[in-house]
Amino acid sequence: MKNIYKNIFQAVSNNEKLLAVLIDPDKFSVNKAEDFIGKVNQSIATHIFVGGSEVDDNATEVLAITIKKYTQLPIVLFPGDVTQITNKADGLLFLSLISGRNPEYLIGKHVDSVSKLKETNLEIIPTGYILIENGKETAVQRVTETAPLSRANIQLIADTAKAGELLGMKLIYLEAGSGASEPVSPKIISKVSRHLQVPLIVGGGIRTKHQLEEAYNSGADLIVIGTAFEDDETFFEEIRK
Ligand code: 1GP
């Protein structure tokens, strides 16, 4: 048991910043896992997230088993679908897409996943997932058939996040979408974090150390980066421990 949520909460209380490296099983070759995870271990990363919008059956499990051989960091599922649930990870972000109005992604998939979840020891962390417009269509938008929240309507984004917290969600995740041309703006992060008690995750389109620091300084507690590491592993050198 890795006490994932307790440790996130504790870190936030101590003003520490957290970083998750997101690995998409669909885009990642397990042959390079040892080398890649070695770089993750030497970086400031605190978590490994595993998931994607469209992933073949079994790919997530194979990847989780492989990663575990090379790291002590907590492996957290960030699933696009029920098929991505595997007991080989440590935890699961139980995501409800609260920016959208598609019942399947608000509660439907969750109901479908219960029989599978009952057979695992995963630490399940209820997470309010908020998709924010970034200028182009994202995979989440396409797959879930929901519209993102307008980045101009900051009050609506903040109210959506707060409503998630009031419903009992333990994390709020502001998502610009994988490979977004622009990350969630500092203005949005700062407004949302000011009114939130639970830890705030921010991801999508963060590619530079400057953007990472800007997001932390605006109030992000845990940042998720995937594409930047997929495209250029030298980025790990900039964020060494
Ligand atoms: C996507 O927030 C994550 O769900 C990470 O996005 O791949 O753009 O880093 P990137």
- How far, in Å, is the centroid of ligand 1 from the Cα of 165? 22
> Does 221 contact ligand 1 (Cβ within 6 A)?
no
Parts of the chain with a pLDDT under 50: none
3-state secondary structure the chain: CCCHHHHHHHHHHCCCCEEEEEECCCCCCHHHHHHHHHHHHCECCCEEEECCCCCCCCHHHHHHHHHHHHCCCCEEECCCCHHHCCCCCCEEEEEEECCCCCHHHHHHHHHHHHHHHCCCCCEEEEEEEEEECCCCCCHHHHHHCCCCECCCCHHHHHHHHHHHHHCCCCEEEEECCCCCCCCCCHHHHHHHHHCCCCCEEEECCCCCHHHHHHHHHHCCCEEEECHHHHHCCCHHHHCEC
Q: How many separate domains does the chain show?
A: 1
What pLDDT sits at residue 145? Answer: 96
- How far, in Å, is the centroid of ligand 1 from the Cα of 204? 4
- How far, in Å, is the centroid of ligand 1 from the Cα of 8? 19
Tell me the C-alpha to C-alpha distance, in Å, between residue 50 and each of 29, 60, 71, 100, 105. Answer: 13, 7, 14, 23, 19
- How far, in Å, is the centroid of ligand 1 from the Cα of 119? 29
Residue 110 belongs to domain spanning: 4-238
Determine phi and psi for 57, rounding to 5 degrees: -55, 145
d(C-alpha 75, C-alpha 63), whole Å: 10
Q: What pLDDT digit, counting tens, does each position of 135-156 carry?
A: 889 999 999 999 999 999 999 9
Q: Which atom of ligand 1 is nearest to the CA of 207?
A: 9
Q: Which atom of ligand 1 is nearest to the CA of 175?
A: 2
- How far, in Å, is the centroid of ligand 1 from the Cα of 176? 8
Q: Which atom of ligand 1 is nearest to the CA of 183?
A: 8
d(C-alpha 40, C-alpha 237), whole Å: 10
What pLDDT sits at residue 57? Answer: 82
For helices 186-194 and 209-218, what crossing angle results, to 10°?
A: 30
> Does 223 contact ligand 1 (Cβ within 6 A)?
no
> Does 186 contact ligand 1 (Cβ within 6 A)?
no
CATH number at residue 71: 3.20.20.390
- How far, in Å, is the centroid of ligand 1 from the Cα of 132? 12
Burial class (CB within 10 angstroms; exposed 0-12, middle 13-18, buried 19+) of 133? buried
For helices 154-166 and 186-194, what crossing angle results, to 10°?
A: 40
CA contacts within 13 A on the Cβ side of 100: 22
> Does 67 contact ligand 1 (Cβ within 6 A)?
no
Handedness of CA 38, 39, 40, 43 (dihedral sign): positive
